[in-house]
Amino acid sequence: MNSYEKEMMDLYKKSLGEKTEFHGIVCPAVKKQPCRLCELCKEVLFNRSIPKEAPLRKRASSLNAKQHYFSNTLFLADPTEIVVLEYGDKIFKQLLAMQMNADQGFKDFWHPIAGRWMILERIQGATREQVDYYVKPKDPTKLVDMSVLSKMYDLGKIVDLVKENKVKSIYQSKLEKTSIIRILPSWLGPEFAMKFFEKVDYHYNISEEDFKACQAGEINPVRVDGGTTGSEIAGGWKPAGTEPPMTKGWGDIPIQDSVPYKGEPKPDVWAQQEKTVQEPDTDELPACYGDFDSTDPDCSPKECSDWADGCKAYRQEKLIKRQAAKRLSR
């Protein structure tokens, strides 16, 4: 099923009233397993030769894992029910600072006896994406009804609980402008455990089918064309206990027995190929990090200021593959 068919299927399901809600794909790193998509994204994001505004960098950022945090939470509006609150880095960093900076006096804010209620404010900006969250701790207060702790969820199993619809978390964007909450331990253990959250990484903007193909080494979704270059396969990504799939390279082309040639000497195609790669045709379309703009007169090897080494290497690989395909088709 290609991208157009997927889009039509989603629209068709919506027309039938079916929900197409997509929470994201849980990163294998959550279960201490290697994730090829994370490695491909980091190769781009950590490459300083790629400009900040390059389409390739933006795509890698959109596919890179996003951190979500889950906490057992009480809302003052109904302190008898445990709610699993799902939130991002803006809230988490403030909570982490309270716990780790003992000088602030907010340490163990999640403790049922020595902890405290907190005011959580959601401030909406001019656009939907411009949202800020602020956490203000109140005075320490013992939890009145300790029996509510028996309703807490074991957040160590939150991935399975969400998948099996046993828990429906409330995401931070669904909160009121001002909420009074009390965060509790992530599970019941000795002295109420020592942790108030569970972190889960999710991948968005990719289908499950493409994610599985990426894990198998069949495609590189970070690149716009979805291909996988020889250098990427040679980069060493290898799932635990498996070998990455091999693609046909120069070493896999069978060598034919030499046959004496009678007549005029043939031109040295290898030398021609080397010359072409070293001095590429200016008419050849540049890779431009996978997003060449044919309508832009400045988008060329001579005019483009972003014609970096990474882009040149990408283009040379395309030229080599094209020339190899022409030779094999003769």
The whole-angstrom separation of Cα 227 and Cα 64 is 18
The number of C-alpha atoms within 13 Å of 22 and in the hemisphere containing its C-beta is 11
Contact 141, 117 (CB under 8 A): yes
72-81, 119-128, 159-168, 270-279 — which is least confidently predicted? 270-279
Residue 242, pLDDT above cutoff 60: no
Q: Mean of the per-residue pLDDT values for the chain?
A: 76
Residue whose C-alpha is closest to residue 169's, from 156, 180, 155: 155
Between helix 309-329 and helix 269-278 the angle, nearest 10°, is: 160
Residue 235, pLDDT above cutoff 70: no
The whole-angstrom separation of Cα 228 and Cα 218 is 7
Locate tokens 């980069």: which residue? 235
Residue 114 makes CB contacts below 8 A (sequence gap 6+) with 108, 140, 142
Residue pLDDT, tens place only, 171-196:
999 999 999 999 999 887 665 667 89
Residue pLDDT, tens place only, 149-167:
999 999 989 999 998 889 9
What's the CA angle centered on 197, arms 73 and 162, to 5 degrees? 75
The whole-angstrom separation of Cα 200 and Cα 116 is 25
Residues 234-264 as b or e (16 or more Cβ within 10 Å = b)? eeebeeeeeebeeeeeeeeeeeeeeeeeeee
The whole-angstrom separation of Cα 100 and Cα 104 is 9
Residue whose C-alpha is closest to residue 70's, from 255, 221, 227, 202: 202
The whole-angstrom separation of Cα 112 and Cα 205 is 39
Helices marked H in 101-222: 158-163, 208-215
% of the chain surpassing 90 pLDDT = 47
pLDDT of residue 172: 93
Q: Are strands 178-183 and 198-203 parallel, antiparallel or unpaired?
A: unpaired
Between helix 208-215 and helix 36-45 the angle, nearest 10°, is: 80
Whether the full predicted model's pTM is greater than 0.75, yes or no, is: no
% of the chain surpassing 70 pLDDT = 61
pLDDT of residue 73: 97
pLDDT of residue 258: 41
Start-to-end C-alpha separation, the chain: 33
Q: What values do phi and psi take at 136, rounded to 5?
A: -120, 110
- Structure-token pair, residue 107: 């340490």
Contact 87, 101 (CB under 8 A): no
Contact 192, 185 (CB under 8 A): yes
CA distances from 164 to 29, 168, 193, 206 (A): 20, 10, 25, 22
105-109, 111-115, 195-199, 244-248 — which is least confidently predicted? 244-248
